[in-house]
Amino acid sequence: MHRIPIIMPQLGESIAEATIVHLSFGIGDAVECDQDIVEVETQKATMAVTAPCAGKLIEWIAEVSQSYAVGATLGFVECSEEEARRLGLDAAATGGNGSSNRGNASESEPLPHGASPADRVGVHIPQVVVNRGVEPTVRGLPVPAQASGAGFLSPRMKARMTELGLHAADLAGVAGSGAAGRLTIEDLEKFIQQLDDHQLSNASSMRVAVADAMRRSWTRPLATVGMPVVIDAMLRHRKASEAKAGPALYALRALAIALGENSAVAGRLVGDKIVHPRSIDVGFAVEAEDGVLVPVLRNADRTPLKDLVTRYADLVDLARRRRLPANATGGSIATVTNFGTFGLEWATPIPLPEQTLVLGMGAGRVVPHWNPQTAAFEPATEANLTLSFDHRVLDGGGAGRLLARIATLLKSPESL
């Protein structure tokens, strides 16, 4: 009689491991060749593992709710010598002497840092393994090219990460040693151990909050469009005004008017519905200690620019002192950021998770500009406008038209 291993098969091109959902047969049951005996779940679908041959099920190594890599041994079927020879499985499975090649980890192997003996459950390393590691296509890279990293996380991995307070983004730089280059629990524990060799400091509560917001924002398909706009008219208007608005406030007011004309582009997609905003409340980014705060100007489409200047200045001051009242934050439908204050001419800001749009303004610079009236190039102050948006709600054409409308309004600042 021969012990034939039940191997976790390659269930798809990108499948590196699968979780056991149901063991369809018990020890001692008779099984037929290619009969479905294990139900497994991958990140894509629920699938079946079949018996390698006809015989009697004599051992289960696999356990329900545990994840196993492709190539791991899930159990053993005992079959006759004739059956094993007919299928060509005898030599490969038994080494010619009927002995089994168990796929579970040895009890003598050291446990990962911080793990208990109970954590051995679900750790399965095949004794005979085809090299499934991902070789870098360019040498010298810190992480192998084409490595999958933390793209797929087993239930055990997720539980350990939750315990440690980690996110998948925190492990982006860790090279996985599992099948198809996937991250394993051993890789995680090794990474945690190595952190102790570095200087560590606690992130501020604001930095953690910003990081969380950006992670949630990045789950959406984001895109950015941009165009240059001549801002000489805006600068002249500002110079002549008694209440002097900053460039960001001009941009905010122009955005608010444009959204007031068509608020659907600032709506949020929830399921198959577009949620339209009740009012045009626009936020603006203010750099604070170790982060960014976003005060909000309510009903900005219905409030003239000159009436927004004092409120805007007050909110900037409160934000920098971290004294913003509760009613001055949240609920905005878009944000304006003036990255030009840092000398940047172009950037791709990320909209907040609850928003669809963020309008950016770059630094002004003097460039030659064609004047059709004089048929000559003349110096003009130009700045880039960028509009980053949730591509599920807005397409490039709609974003371009919205940005063009904002640029037109900025060229006629008296209308603001």
Which pLDDT belongs to residue 167? 78
Contact 225, 396 (CB under 8 A): yes
Give yes or no: residues 94 and 219 share one domain: no
d(CA 318, CA 325): 8
Contact 141, 32 (CB under 8 A): no
Edge-first strand order for the sheet with 46-50 is: 46-50, 36-41, 17-23, 67-69
Which pLDDT belongs to residue 130? 35
Give yes or no: residues 50 and 171 share one domain: no
Q: Domain for residue 119, yes or no?
A: no
Give yes or no: residues 147 and 213 share one domain: no
In the 8-state DSSP scheme, what is residue 303? S
Contact 33, 52 (CB under 8 A): yes
Which pLDDT belongs to residue 184? 82
Give yes or no: residues 261 and 325 share one domain: yes
Give yes or no: residues 408 and 319 share one domain: yes
**Element at 211 (helix H, strand E):** helix 205-217
Q: Which residue has the tokens 């051993």?
A: 186
Query: Where is the domain boundary, 195, 217, 248?
Result: 195
List CB contacts of 339: < 8 A, sequence separation 6 or more: 347, 349, 360, 361, 362
Query: Which tokens is 17 given?
Result: 């491991």
Give yes or no: residues 272 and 350 share one domain: yes
Number of domains in the chain: 3
- Cα–Cα distance list, 304 to 235, 253, 260, 314, 318 (Å): 17, 8, 13, 17, 22
Give yes or no: residues 159 and 218 share one domain: no
Q: Domain for residue 201, yes or no?
A: no
- Cα–Cα distance list, 278 to 64, 143, 402 (Å): 49, 47, 19
Give yes or no: residues 105 and 39 share one domain: yes
Which pLDDT belongs to residue 151? 57
Q: Where are the alpha helices (DSSP H) in 223-365?
A: 232-240, 247-261, 305-320
Please, which residues bridge with residue 282 across strands? 297, 334
Which pLDDT belongs to residue 128? 36
* φ, ψ of residue 294 in degrees (nearest 5): -130, 85
β-pairing, 291-293 vs 55-60, is unpaired
For the chain, 416 residues long, the average pLDDT of each consecutive 10-residue run is 87 75 93 91 78 92 89 91 74 45 41 42 37 40 47 74 79 72 80 81 78 84 94 93 91 95 86 86 88 91 94 92 86 92 92 91 93 91 94 91 95 92
Please, which residues bridge with residue 39 across strands? 22, 48
Query: Where is the domain boundary, 77, 112, 147?
Result: 112
The domain containing residue 20 runs over which residues? 2-112
Query: Where is the domain boundary, 50, 79, 112?
Result: 112
d(CA 126, CA 241): 76
CATH code for the domain in which residue 21 is found: 2.40.50.100
Q: Domain for residue 121, yes or no?
A: no
Which pLDDT belongs to residue 217? 84
Grouping H, G, I as helix, E, B as strand and the rest as coil, residue 155 is helix
List CB contacts of 374: < 8 A, sequence separation 6 or more: none
Give yes or no: residues 162 and 95 share one domain: no
Query: Which tokens is 115 given?
Result: 């793990």
Contact 309, 318 (CB under 8 A): no
d(CA 388, CA 414): 26
Global pTM reads 0.59
Which pLDDT belongs to residue 179? 66
Identify how many contiguous H helices and E strands the chain contains and give both numbers. 9, 19
Give yes or no: residues 175 and 280 share one domain: no
d(CA 145, CA 175): 10
Which pLDDT belongs to residue 44? 55
Which pLDDT belongs to residue 14? 58
